[in-house]
Structure 1
Amino acid sequence: MPDSTSSVCQTCGACCAHYRVSFYWGESDAHPGGTVPHRLTIPITPHMIAMRGTEARPSRCAALDGAVGRHVACTIYPQRSTTCREFSAYTPECDKARIVYGLAPLLEEAAA
């Protein structure tokens, strides 16, 4: 796996525009210790919230800035949820989102 994961992600953004980003409501800044801006979330269940824009299809996180596959940035990167922190490039889930946007799978590139 290449070391340039952050630069790959900054030119991709497919995961942020493909998957629902849901997480525990306590991660919202409406609660003590939470960091995710509450104004950018929507309730999913009594204990789960999601990033606005990812609750339906087509999906695109409200915190995603830029053009998928060209240059993107997370406008709340330091405050992002654990779901986002735990998502990794060079995984089957990453490649699935990339393929939806016509981008080459990273696992194949890394194996070459």
Structure 2
Amino acid sequence: MPQISIRTEDDRVFYDMAGNDHPCVGCGCCCKFFRVSFYHGELDTQPGGYVPEALTSSLTPFRACMKGTESGEGRCIALQADNRCGIYDNRPSVCREFPALLEDGSLNPECVRLKRLFSLPIPGEAPGPAGDDTQRAA
């Protein structure tokens, strides 16, 4: 089972996964599907910020998102060809807070849904046709 480090900061929960054997390292589905939006105070141009502003777009005066994800269905600019995050140590809070694995070690149902959507194998599940949950919500 992958090693999960769960920590809290400012009453928020962050999930950090050690090693290279966890499902979010080789998948990248969430980085290809969700709009990665967050409070502009996380930008490296703000005091205490850390997300590289050059890789973001402004959504509102107070919200930014990673370039490529503005429409809600696009590849995050920080996602590298090997499906690893190019700014992992400086990724936005929304990425830090999204648990690929639940506390019991099982895959997050959203990860399973996205893996099916992108026709990727699901760890622990026999290969076969995708289920009804491959359809995007209207």
- Same fold (TM > 0.5): yes
**Aligned sequence identity (%):** 42
Shift of 1:101: 0.9
Matched with 1:101 is 118
RMSD (CA atoms): 1.9
Gap runs ≥5 in structure 1: none
Matched with 1:65 is 80
Shift of 1:43: 1.0
Matched with 1:78 is 89
Shift of 1:21: 0.3
Using the size of structure 1 for normalisation, the TM-score is: 0.81
Using the size of structure 2 for normalisation, the TM-score is: 0.67
What is the one-letter code of the residue matched to 1:41? Answer: T
Q: Is the 8 A contact 2:35 2:73 kept in 1?
A: no
Q: Is the 8 A contact 1:42 1:52 kept in 2?
A: yes
Of 27, 31, 47, the residue aligned with 1:16 is 31
Q: How many residues align?
A: 103
Shift of 1:83: 0.3
Larger displacement relative to structure 2 (50-59 or 77-86):
50-59
Shift of 1:15: 0.6
Matched with 2:45 is 30
Residue 92 in structure 1 maps to residue 109 in structure 2: yes
Matched with 1:44 is 59
Shift of 1:54: 0.5
What is the one-letter code of the residue matched to 1:101? Answer: F
Q: Is the 8 A contact 2:67 2:76 kept in 1?
A: yes
Shift of 1:58: 4.2
**Greater fraction helix:** 1
Q: Is the 8 A contact 1:15 1:98 kept in 2?
A: no
